[in-house]
Amino acid sequence: MTWSIDDLIMIYTMENDLVKTKFLQIYANLPLNQRNEIIIVIDDESLTWNAVKIEVENDTLMGRRILDKLIGLGIVK
């Protein structure tokens, strides 16, 4: 089977939306005081749950990098 560019973009978008949704579910279940704790360090920058949520919700390149790392760490599955 041959995939068109549009097909690949749609699959990537669906996968990205699924990972984003899983992260937001985890975030929603965190106690409020934990949301200010550092979850990850990227490019020598410490990011809290709150900062990561903003990046993820805004679909930034940094947000995608963060989600990829969180998947690698097993935080988001």
Q: How far apart are CA 19 and CA 32, in angstroms?
A: 22
Q: What is the pTM of this model?
A: 0.81
| pLDDT one-digit tens code per residue, 20-76 | 999 999 999 999 999 999 999 999 999 999 999 999 999 999 999 999 999 999 999
Q: How far apart are CA 9 and CA 46, in angstroms?
A: 31
Q: How far apart are CA 14 and CA 65, in angstroms?
A: 17
| pLDDT one-digit tens code per residue, 60-73 | 999 999 999 999 99
**pLDDT tier, 7 (very low <50, low <70, confident <90, very high otherwise):** low
